[in-house]
Structure 1
Amino acid sequence: MEQVQDLNPKPLSVKEYLVVSSMLFGLFFGAGNLIFPIHLGQLAGAHWGLATVGFLVTAVVLPLLSVLAVAVTRSEGVYDIGKPLGPAFALAFMVLIHATIGPLFGTPRTATIPFSVGVQPLLPASWAHAGLLVFSLLFFGAAFLISFRESNVMSSVGKVLNPLFLLMLFAVFAMAFMAPMSHASNQSVTAAYQHASFFNGFLQGYNTMDALAGLAFGVTVVAAVRQLGKTTPKSNARVTAKAGVLATGMIGLIYVGLIWLGATTLGHFKVSADGGVAFNQLVTYYLGNIGHALLATLLTVTCLTTAVGLVAAFAQDFHKHFSRVSYQTWLGFMCVASFLTANFGLDTIIQWSTPMLMFLYPFAMVLILLSIFSPLFKRDPVVYAFVVVCTAVPALLDMVAAFPPVVSQSAFGKALGAFQQGVLPFASLGMDWVVPAVVGAVAGLAVHVLKPVLTGQPASASDR
């Protein structure tokens, strides 16, 4: 039964909204959110503006929609988002999302990025492996301790770590804006961004993993808002939505600044191999030797906020669905697994994460949009089924095409690639899932509308 009244019937204060928004900001914004926009700016050069618009769609608008999807459907986690397709699909989707943003790719990246970009340059080359081992051990030990009690997540992330990160980031921005390296509009543009800046920026937004994280963080956000006394689904959803708009709006402003900064670095540096190198060059240019120390601190703090959110969301969701294992045990498993994966190194993690992101993001996008608009068709499972089934084939083809050459350039990979490019519209832009998903939506809605005529029964499914 839904509670008639909140434990706290009074409207939240501005300060309380800021605390929830700050927590959301900290959960979303990790090291990848720093390095990928800067690298995008270098790749896009003078076309940085259009590339920024594409990047903001998948890196800001989509994560905001994922938070709103949780609010609209009154979900308490990623499992509930996939529930209209049945418990088996919902559980599989939850496991895949948490595995990707968790111990396989996302969470280990929160340790490897600050180490490789901020700490490793300060160490002798022979100490790199041992340094990563020690750093990742301390890093995930801290994440475990902060997340050990679920009630600590809001106070630790929203009130302490995130403001510290914002203060340090503002210092870097202030120096860069007062004395820019060059005019971004005058810089060279790489080949891929000559004619497809928007779509390449769109695909670069996948790397932040924030749309997937937004679905997984749902359980953490709902629990945090409940701590403020907003315990009924309706009021909890309203607070979550308002805080999400504020948090993602701030992230969007930072992205614009970072992409512009990346483009300005081309006045002094060549396009780097990744955004970590570019960010290192940026802070060193303005701060000299102390830039390394600031960078290491900045990246470690922002990554720790994201790691705390990821490990807590993983443990909360898995404890909810596999309750025989305690929250603290799942938390320990997540931290140990992430520590082990982190020691494969950043390059390996990024190389193998891209195929999974190309596979999961189309599913995440259609499920988020279906959840947002679900009141219009009463969350009918038929509509969900048509859209998801039609999205599956292009998502699988995108995954194969994104694998390292050992897979994508094999005879099997080339054959699938030729089929993909020859049959599916927009395949060359990485958007081949769009037309099938639209076709599935039209077919699903048609069946939903015609169901009463054909069966004499209501077309709607339960709203729950």
Structure 2
Amino acid sequence: MQTNKLSFKHYLIIGSMLFGMFFGAGNLIFPIHLGQLAGAHWLTAGGGFLLTGTLLPLLGIIAISVTRSNGIYELARPIGKRYATAFMILTCATLGPLFATPRTATTPFQIGIASHVSTSQAPWALLIYSLLFFSLTYWASRRPTQIIDTIGKLLNPAFLILLAIIFGIAFTRPLGAAHTTAVTSAYQQGAFLNGFLQGYNTMDALAALLFGIAVVTTIKSLGQHEATAIAKTAAKSSLLSILLEAAIYLGLIWLGATSLTRFKLSTDGGIAFSQIAKAFLGVPGEIILAIMATLTCLTTAVGLASSFSEALHAKFPKISYRAWNRLSCGASFLIANIGLDAIIAWSTPMLMFLYPLAITLIILSIASPLFQRDAAVYRWTTGLTLIPAALDALRSAPTIITQHSWVQALLAWDSKTLPLAKLGLDWVVPAMLGLAIGLGWYGIRRWWAARSLDLN
């Protein structure tokens, strides 16, 4: 089938679409909060944040391109069909109606509206806001081929203009000098590592695996159908998106650090951003922030709803795309109304479980040509990552779970036995061991096959 040659304009449009899909609720508030936590060490913490917040998503898109997969299921299939299905469902649920998609509505509400209504009025205000928000999300995500029009050409430029206004004022009239601000205890020595773990909250590495199907669909709609051409286009477009995202992250982290010269450490980045906007522009600043937060979170919600629906429709074709989309938007609306704090509290253990599995899957996929995508390498690495990832999830769970004696005993054993457990990275050594065993087994089988061929 003939493949059209895309122009630089097409790469910009696809890159803009990816940026709009990636940059959402957590991407706006977590860098600000990280800057406040890191203070004078904001740049070091920012370096760690960029690894999980920008590099991993880029590698995720490249992994899909290298393996020529059209979705998260195909990417994980070498591990086993059942595992691939389970991993896909957990990832879709996390990025879809359980955590990420509801958060796209609760975050802009929290930072732009909640402070202007009373405690008794807040639940009703959130109900109305989230109903309108997810009604728009459903309307924009009805047809996946319209993603470029609704995100790349309309919502994304509006968000960038609003963000540029905030940055322009902040850089010309900074609140203070970032290098002189206080550093919290956790960031005195471990700024880089803590920034790395904070990057989990963006969920972008998981989103990159899910968005792959939307990227492929969009590229095909522009006239490219050959697998190699699609892979190259996806990689180039994602690089443009990630570079822009990295620059914005560093700006937001710096902005959070400078805010400490005027404001106290806030409980979350939404409160801090609201304070900063009001300091620069007064009430109009808060209005700009509310609009900006709504736009950026709406673009992400559209991308998440579309990718969720396409991924599950591809796996379970008897249920239509529109039915999955209704489920995603409807369930997200219901869960959004339990509040932002509850969503974040319960999403953290799921992220601590899924991220190690996503990181190892991305690395294995990119390196797969070296071992011919051998299933043994995938299975050994993933198998030895699963248990410590589950322990990390337990460690970060809400008190209602961690207060049980058996959980505390298990976590105590984990801290004494596995290296880096106290740092939330106890999966690293087992994963490396699994990779070594898998590669060794692959090498032995290759040697034995070659020897048998020579003997014959």
With the shorter chain as reference, the TM-score category is over 0.9
- Once residues 99 and 174 of structure 1 are traced to their aligned partners in structure 2, the CA distance between those partners, rounded to angstroms, is 38
Query: Of 53, 59, 80, which aligns to 1:65?
Result: 59
Q: C-alpha displacement at 1:116, in angstroms? A: 1.1
1:266 aligns with 2:260: yes
Where 1:151 maps in the other structure, the secondary structure is helix
Q: C-alpha displacement at 1:456, in angstroms? A: 6.0
1:43 aligns with 2:37: yes
What is aligned with 2:300?
306
**Percent identical residues:** 51
Where 2:120 maps in the other structure, the secondary structure is helix
1:393 aligns with 2:387: yes
- Once residues 287 and 60 of structure 1 are traced to their aligned partners in structure 2, the CA distance between those partners, rounded to angstroms, is 30
1:326 aligns with 2:320: yes
Q: C-alpha displacement at 1:292, in angstroms? A: 1.7
Where 2:144 maps in the other structure, the secondary structure is coil
What is aligned with 2:244?
250
| Counterpart amino acid of residue 90 in structure 2 | L
What is aligned with 2:148?
154
What is aligned with 1:408?
402
Q: C-alpha displacement at 1:121, in angstroms? A: 1.7
1:375-390 matches, within 5 Å, as 375-390=369-384
- Once residues 408 and 456 of structure 1 are traced to their aligned partners in structure 2, the CA distance between those partners, rounded to angstroms, is 52
Q: C-alpha displacement at 1:301, in angstroms? A: 0.3
What is aligned with 2:8?
14
1:129-168 matches, within 5 Å, as 129-168=123-162
Q: C-alpha displacement at 1:393, in angstroms? A: 1.1
- Once residues 275 and 67 of structure 1 are traced to their aligned partners in structure 2, the CA distance between those partners, rounded to angstroms, is 28
What is aligned with 1:86?
80
What is aligned with 1:296?
290
Q: C-alpha displacement at 1:457, in angstroms? A: 9.1
- Once residues 379 and 159 of structure 2 are traced to their aligned partners in structure 1, the CA distance between those partners, rounded to angstroms, is 42
1:217 aligns with 2:230: no
1:175 aligns with 2:183: no
What is aligned with 1:189?
183
What is aligned with 2:443?
449
Contact residue 182 and residue 267 of structure 1 kept, 8 A:
yes
Write the deviation string for residues 397-453 of structure 1: whole angstroms up to 9, x where unpaired. Answer: 100000111212321121111111101111121111111111111110000010133
Q: C-alpha displacement at 1:283, in angstroms? A: 0.4
Q: C-alpha displacement at 1:106, in angstroms? A: 0.4
What is aligned with 2:424?
430
Q: C-alpha displacement at 1:58, in angstroms? A: 0.3
Q: C-alpha displacement at 1:68, in angstroms? A: 0.6
- Once residues 78 and 134 of structure 1 are traced to their aligned partners in structure 2, the CA distance between those partners, rounded to angstroms, is 34
Q: C-alpha displacement at 1:458, in angstroms? A: 10
- Once residues 425 and 312 of structure 2 are traced to their aligned partners in structure 1, the CA distance between those partners, rounded to angstroms, is 32
- Once residues 413 and 200 of structure 1 are traced to their aligned partners in structure 2, the CA distance between those partners, rounded to angstroms, is 24
Where 1:43 maps in the other structure, the secondary structure is helix
Q: C-alpha displacement at 1:83, in angstroms? A: 0.7
What is aligned with 2:200?
206
1:55 aligns with 2:56: no
Write the deviation string for residues 327-382 of structure 1: whole angstroms up to 9, x where unpaired. Answer: 11110011001001000000000000000000000000000000011111000000
| Counterpart amino acid of residue 79 in structure 2 | L
- Once residues 73 and 114 of structure 2 are traced to their aligned partners in structure 1, the CA distance between those partners, rounded to angstroms, is 38
Q: C-alpha displacement at 1:125, in angstroms? A: 2.7
What is aligned with 1:275?
269
- Once residues 370 and 200 of structure 1 are traced to their aligned partners in structure 2, the CA distance between those partners, rounded to angstroms, is 25
What is aligned with 2:25?
31
- Once residues 92 and 151 of structure 2 are traced to their aligned partners in structure 1, the CA distance between those partners, rounded to angstroms, is 20
What is aligned with 1:351?
345
| Counterpart amino acid of residue 16 in structure 1 | H
1:96 aligns with 2:84: no
Structure 2's unaligned 5+ residue stretches are none
Where 1:272 maps in the other structure, the secondary structure is coil
Write the deviation string for residues 196-229 of structure 1: whole angstroms up to 9, x where unpaired. Answer: 1111000000000000000000000110011111
Alignment RMSD (CA, Å): 1.3
1:364-383 matches, within 5 Å, as 364-383=358-377
1:99-118 matches, within 5 Å, as 99-118=93-112
- Once residues 13 and 158 of structure 1 are traced to their aligned partners in structure 2, the CA distance between those partners, rounded to angstroms, is 16
What is aligned with 2:122?
128
- Once residues 339 and 230 of structure 2 are traced to their aligned partners in structure 1, the CA distance between those partners, rounded to angstroms, is 40
- Once residues 446 and 235 of structure 2 are traced to their aligned partners in structure 1, the CA distance between those partners, rounded to angstroms, is 34
| Counterpart amino acid of residue 442 in structure 2 | H
| Counterpart amino acid of residue 58 in structure 1 | T
- Once residues 398 and 143 of structure 2 are traced to their aligned partners in structure 1, the CA distance between those partners, rounded to angstroms, is 40
Give the TM-score of the pair, scaled to structure 2.
Answer: 0.98
Q: Which moved more, 1:302-311 or 1:427-436?
A: 427-436
- Once residues 327 and 393 of structure 1 are traced to their aligned partners in structure 2, the CA distance between those partners, rounded to angstroms, is 34
